[in-house]
Structure 1
Amino acid sequence: MSFAIPFPNISPEIFSIGPFALRWYALAYIVGILIAWWMMARAVRTPRLWPNGQAPATADQIGDFVTWAIIGIIVGGRLGFVLFYEPAYYLQNPLQIPQIWQGGMAFHGGFLGVVVAGLWFCRKNGIPIPQMADLIAYGTPPALALGRISNFINAELWGRPTDAPWGVVFPGPMAQDCPGIVGLCARHPSQLYEAALEGVVLCLLLIWVVYRARGFFRTGLVLGLFVGGYGVARFIVEFYRQADAQFITPDNPMGWVLQAGPVGVSMGQLLSLPMILFGLVMVIWSLKWQART
């Protein structure tokens, strides 16, 4: 290792009062949801963004939906982690499944949780599901960016070893367990790569599409760009992100879940492929549908 960036000494806890502790990860969820709420409420209060000046929901309904979205994120994110990443462990330790304060959330599960919550909420309130889906997708990227930044602060989900000058020396024996490397091991700050692609880039793209390209006039376009864009970003970053420990073996040091000869895909890439396909189909459908109307 010729050069590397020392890991910043940032405590995962912002402050604690007695048994209560506010962690960066929890704050990321809170602030991300508040930003999404604000973006969605502002969008429905802007008639020019919608066909015939009619938004699919009111600002008050957006506030009500946020409560259900939070439940969907927590339940779906936790169950997704349990089922996708460590099913054997939690099958033996089922009482640990609801212990979300111990860590372990999966975006793909949280995404499905929000989908279920959104479908239920729309049917209950008579809100058009496709337009509401576009609206939810539009407000999501900032929360993704904040979540990935908190992953970096927590020194978790780090990347593969690298000799790049921006490699970060993450603390802990697991982060420093790099076969073949003598001395300190620097790794890709893959959490920040994800924050940039899934959060900042995707957010700026959707804002431009909504406010400059009348994205909400093409039902499904914003949703397709978000889902497909996330899938592409996650697929790319997985090349630099360390695979989860349960997938790494002496015969499979890359942690691939599917392998064909010298190439393979990680669990994150496998879960992202349907998202890329769905996003592509939605974008094509929305553009063709718009052309016919």
Structure 2
Amino acid sequence: MSTGIPFPNISPELFSISIFGMEFALRWYALAYIAGILIGWRIAVAAVKRPALWPSERPPMTPQQVEDLLTWVIVGVILGGRLGFVLFYQPAYYLANPGEILAIWQGGMSFHGGFVGVVVAALIYCQRASIPLRPAADMMALATPVGLFLGRVSNFINAELWGRPTTLPWGVQFPGQAAQSCGQALGEICARHPSQLYEAVLEGLLLGAVLLWLAFRRGALKAPGTIVGLFVAGYGLARFLVEFVRQPDAQFVSDGNPLGLALHINGLGLTMGQVLSVPMILIGLYLWKTAKRA
């Protein structure tokens, strides 16, 4: 007997049109990026327009500077996310096929790589514009969870990045041969953890709600480093936990390593997502503990 919830009949494309014999489609994933960036931008602008939230009632940026920073962030997300995927998850493949490294339309983005890309872009912009780093980082961290939420929901709609097999009643029967190949008995359906939705709730809804409450109701922005520290540590912890039920990338799975651990000894270890999340947790805790109220 099959278990779990049938995957909803949702197309990964909102719509597609044909122009001069070529197909152009708007996908949920692209819309998530666009909506996440726009909503995050408005959250950042709303914060800098309230001087009372900031140390000495001086926001780190003007609304115009937030808009300028947005361009740098978009470039950092795309380049960092793609290069992170190439280096962290499939270096051998792209070393053999370097022409595909920038083929982002084929899919393959890493949050950890995108995070590094945004950090580098923000550092360059803030240095050029003489903007204080910690308050600027707090503002950016405040605006990020909504994009994470939308991105993870679109991962679910795309039926990608699903979790490990489960017999829990909320397991989802994801479509496709790969999702349905989990060693089950012939004729049975494989149900998997909807790990994308777990991450959407933890990294997006829960973490975002806590940060917004702390910033707008508890004066956390007056202690530069608090919001960004809690965001970085909170994301790292959420990702670390979800990795226990998230299906690892195929290149890490083998007969001797069925759990797909990137670092392991005698069957115990960490997935690549956990390896990359540990430094985030430590850095986030450092930023939070060294934050000083001004």
Bin of the TM-score, shorter chain as denominator length: over 0.9
CA distance in 2, matches of 1:257, 1:50: 42
Which residue number corresponds to residue 3 of structure 1? 3
Which residue number corresponds to residue 74 of structure 1? 78
CA distance in 2, matches of 1:181, 1:162: 14
C-alpha offsets along residues 81-107 of structure 1, whole Å, 9 cap, x if unaligned? 000000000001111111101000000
Q: Does 1:192 align with 2:175?
A: no
TM-score by length of structure 2 reads 0.96
Shift of 1:147: 0.4
Match of 1:208 among 194, 206, 213: 213
Secondary structure, aligned partner of 1:56:
coil
Secondary structure, aligned partner of 2:290:
helix
Which residue number corresponds to residue 14 of structure 1? 14
C-alpha offsets along residues 72-131 of structure 1, whole Å, 9 cap, x if unaligned? 000000000000000000001111111101000000000011001101111111111111
CA distance in 1, matches of 2:132, 2:286: 20
CA distance in 2, matches of 1:86, 1:274: 21
Which residue number corresponds to residue 88 of structure 1? 92
Secondary structure, aligned partner of 2:264:
strand
Match of 2:56 among 52, 76, 79: 52
Partners of 2:249 and 2:260 within 8 A in 1: yes
Which residue number corresponds to residue 65 of structure 2? 61
Runs of 4+ in structure 1 deviating by more than 6 angstroms, as ranges, are none
Which residue number corresponds to residue 238 of structure 2? 233
CA distance in 1, matches of 2:81, 2:147: 14
Task: Select between 42-51 and 177-186 the one with higher mean Cα deviation.
Answer: 177-186
In percent, how many aligned pairs have the same letter? 58
CA distance in 1, matches of 2:110, 2:16: 26
Residue type at the aligned position of 1:247: F
Shift of 1:180: 4.1
CA distance in 1, matches of 2:94, 2:14: 29
Gaps of 5+ in 2: none
Partners of 1:56 and 1:128 within 8 A in 2: yes
CA distance in 2, matches of 1:177, 1:2: 14
Which residue number corresponds to residue 140 of structure 2? 136
CA distance in 2, matches of 1:93, 1:11: 30
Partners of 2:3 and 2:190 within 8 A in 1: no
Which residue number corresponds to residue 107 of structure 2? 103
Task: Select between 122-131 and 24-33 the one with higher mean Cα deviation.
Answer: 122-131
Match of 1:34 among 35, 38, 53: 38
Task: Select between 79-88 and 43-52 the one with higher mean Cα deviation.
Answer: 43-52
Q: Does 1:280 align with 2:278?
A: no
Residue type at the aligned position of 2:11: S
Which residue number corresponds to residue 259 of structure 1? 264
Partners of 1:2 and 1:163 within 8 A in 2: no
Residue type at the aligned position of 2:17: I
Residue type at the aligned position of 1:99: A
Partners of 2:257 and 2:267 within 8 A in 1: no
Shift of 1:261: 2.7
Residue type at the aligned position of 1:214: G
Secondary structure, aligned partner of 1:16:
strand
Match of 1:125 among 123, 129, 149: 129
User: In angstroms, what is the RMSD of aligned CA positions?
Assistant: 1.1
CA distance in 1, matches of 2:122, 2:223: 20
CA distance in 2, matches of 1:96, 1:12: 23
Shift of 1:163: 0.3
CA distance in 1, matches of 2:194, 2:123: 36
Secondary structure, aligned partner of 1:83:
helix
Shift of 1:3: 2.9
Partners of 2:2 and 2:189 within 8 A in 1: no
TM-score by length of structure 1 reads 0.96
Shift of 1:246: 0.4
Which residue number corresponds to residue 167 of structure 2? 163
Residue type at the aligned position of 2:216: Y
CA distance in 2, matches of 1:85, 1:190: 19
Shift of 1:262: 3.8
CA distance in 1, matches of 2:42, 2:13: 26
Question: What is the aligned residue count?
Answer: 289
Secondary structure, aligned partner of 1:14:
strand
